[in-house]
Amino acid sequence: MNFWNDPLKIAADWLTGILTGWGMPAVAAGILVAFLGTLLLISLLMVMDIFLVWLERKVVSRFQDRIGPNRVGPFGLIQPFADIIKLLIKEDTTPEGADRVVYNIAPMLSMMSVLILWAIVPLAPVILGVDLNVGLLYIIAAGAIGTLAIIMAGWSSNNKFATIGAFRQVAVMVSFEIPMVAMLLIPTIFAKTMGMNGIIQAQNIPYFILSPLGALIFLVAAIAELGRAPFDLSEGESELVSGFNIEYSGMKFGMFYAGELLHALTFGGFLAILFFGGYRFFGLEKVSPFLAIVIFLAKAMVGYWVIMWVRYTMMRIRIDHMLAFNWKFLTPLSFVLLMVTALMNALLAGTSVWVYSIGMFLSNVLIAWIALEIVRAYSRNEREKVEAPKVAAEAHH
Amino acid sequence: MNEWLYVGLFFIVGLIIPVGAIGVAWILGPKKSNPIKLTTYECGIETVGDSWVQFKAQYYIFALVFLVFDVETVFLFPWAVRLGQLGLFAVIEGIVFVAILIAGLIYTWRKGMLEWA
């Protein structure tokens, strides 16, 4: 075993050795080393977050046929640092009548709810914070803290726009959490574990082949959970100006913004882990843990790019359409998919991998087709209801 | 080391970073507040009426439906993990369980509670 095969453990053992050599108790040394590791991971995440600002601005400008930041440094790469300096020296205002404590805690909670998700993200087979056996439940729990942060921000701002934005955002998050949780159950059924590393290890066939519809529903629910377009009702610029974070300025606003970007990348990562094999890529992950990290981040970036692509292509939808879409279409569909997956899993148990995969894939395609046919028939029915009187009137003339 | 201790460390560090960033901004930023600056933003006009507006009762209904589903889906996680060992009987039981949930959703739907009126 050398440093390049298991860098985290070697570094941790080395540091623990030094600290205990100084006469520190082993428990305290272990905690201190874990603390330093956490600090390192989160600091690296924050540095990556800074470049996500640049990436997002560059990508959106390409979608909108612009060039984007290109003045400060090569390709505008230094631009986010200039932005940070600006955010740091802005005045920190708390509007009159705001609930000061709640108002100031909200941006911190918002950022924290994203950062703690990375405790369970396996970057490589041996580089991971902690492999919780209830990893998927932990994702849901951490997501709930994000929802809490948003309603705290909206309510405490003493602003109508912020309050309405928070209500809407909570309605979106709460609604789309149901299909998302149902879709988290599908990798659980396949992998027979809730641990993130276990799910990746079990993916000899990536789960997007076994359950393409599941991956798609998870992506849609994730976009809604992130509060991004087309589900960004909480900050609809044309009606709510900026929604729940309207009164925030300076670094507090920066926390919401950076948290949102990192959250999107994190959900790209979860999509990669749950349905696209995480750090696995045709055995390349066994070469070096560092290569595995690169593979995982590349997959997460692809997921993030898809989320951005949807964001800058789709129009914002109305809240009643959004809620109807979730409760009347996505929730029933995801539960039907879950039940069929469970049933097929039991019926195909013991058959060869090929039969199992093809059976799963076909059942997914069939469900998607039936669901689309039902929607199509319904919309045809609705359209005829509107058009029938018109046709009758024309025939009369 | 206990894995939950590590998760706890993540909570602590995850709070230290934003607190630090906002703290630095608070130290570096100017402090020249005045009453106009602290007024509630409302597109440049004076705030009309109370800022803490009443919310639609519909949000409450959706939250209630959510609550039922969320609690029940958490029960489905142990079922999903052990599905391989339990066989067809457990699958049928799971389907019955979800069918009861869906019946609740259909009841809400038929009652017109899913409409945004």
**Per-residue pLDDT in tens (0 to 9) along chain A, 397 residues:** 566 677 777 777 777 777 777 877 777 777 888 888 888 888 888 888 888 888 888 888 888 888 888 888 788 888 888 888 888 888 888 887 778 888 888 888 888 988 888 888 888 777 777 777 888 888 888 888 888 888 888 888 888 888 888 888 888 888 888 898 888 889 988 888 888 888 888 888 888 888 899 999 999 998 888 878 788 777 777 777 777 888 888 888 888 888 888 888 999 999 998 888 888 888 777 777 788 888 888 999 998 999 888 888 888 888 888 888 888 888 889 989 988 888 888 888 778 888 888 888 898 999 999 999 998 998 898 888 888 777 777 777 6
A230 upstream amide cis, omega within 30 of 0 = yes
On the 0-12 / 13-18 / 19+ scale of CB atoms within 10 A, A102 is middle
Judge whether B64 is closer than 8 Å to chain A, CB to CB. Answer: no
Dist. CA A128–CA A84, nearest whole Å: 29
Token pair recorded at residue A300? 């997460």
Cβ atoms B56, A164 nearer than 8 A? no
Dist. CA A105–CA A113, nearest whole Å: 12
Radius of gyration for the alpha carbons in chain A, expressed in angstroms and rounded: 24
CA dist A22 to A16, A18, A25, B96, Å?
A: 10, 6, 9, 61
Dist. CA A40–CA A24, nearest whole Å: 21
Q: Quick: pLDDT tens for B27-86.
A: 887 888 787 777 777 766 677 667 677 777 778 888 888 888 888 888 888 888 888 787
Q: What is the pTM of this model?
A: 0.89
Nearest CA in chain B to A99: B52
Residue B106 lies inside a defined structural domain of this protein: yes
Judge whether B68 is closer than 8 Å to chain A, CB to CB. Answer: no
CB pairs under 8 A between A and B: 222
Nearest-by-Cβ selection for B14 from A112, A170, A319? A112
Interface touch A342/B114, C-beta < 8 Å:
no
Closest CA to A234 of A150, A141, A307: A150
CA dist A212 to A163, A166, A216, A346, B64, Å?
A: 37, 32, 6, 19, 30
CA end-to-end span of chain B, whole Å? Answer: 54
Q: Where are the domains of chain A?
A: 1-89, 91-396
The per-residue pLDDT for A366 is: 92
Residue B116 lies inside a defined structural domain of this protein: no
Cβ atoms A224, A175 nearer than 8 A? yes
Asked if pLDDT for residue B114 goes beyond 90, the answer is no
Instruction: Identify all chain A residues contacting B83, using CB atoms and an 8 Å cutoff.
Output: 189, 192, 342, 345-346
Residue B46 lies inside a defined structural domain of this protein: yes
Q: Quick: pLDDT tens for B79-107.
A: 888 887 877 888 888 889 888 888 888 88
DSSP code of residue A41: H
Residue B80 lies inside a defined structural domain of this protein: yes
Instruction: Identify all chain A residues contacting B81, using CB atoms and an 8 Å cutoff.
Output: 188, 192-194
Counted domains in chain B: 1
The per-residue pLDDT for B1 is: 56
The per-residue pLDDT for A131 is: 79
Residue B32 lies inside a defined structural domain of this protein: yes
B45: domain CATH number?
A: 1.20.58.1610
Nearest-by-Cβ selection for B91 from A163, A181, A343? A343
Interface touch A112/B52, C-beta < 8 Å:
no
Domain that holds residue B77: 3-110
Residue B115 lies inside a defined structural domain of this protein: no
On the 0-12 / 13-18 / 19+ scale of CB atoms within 10 A, A395 is exposed
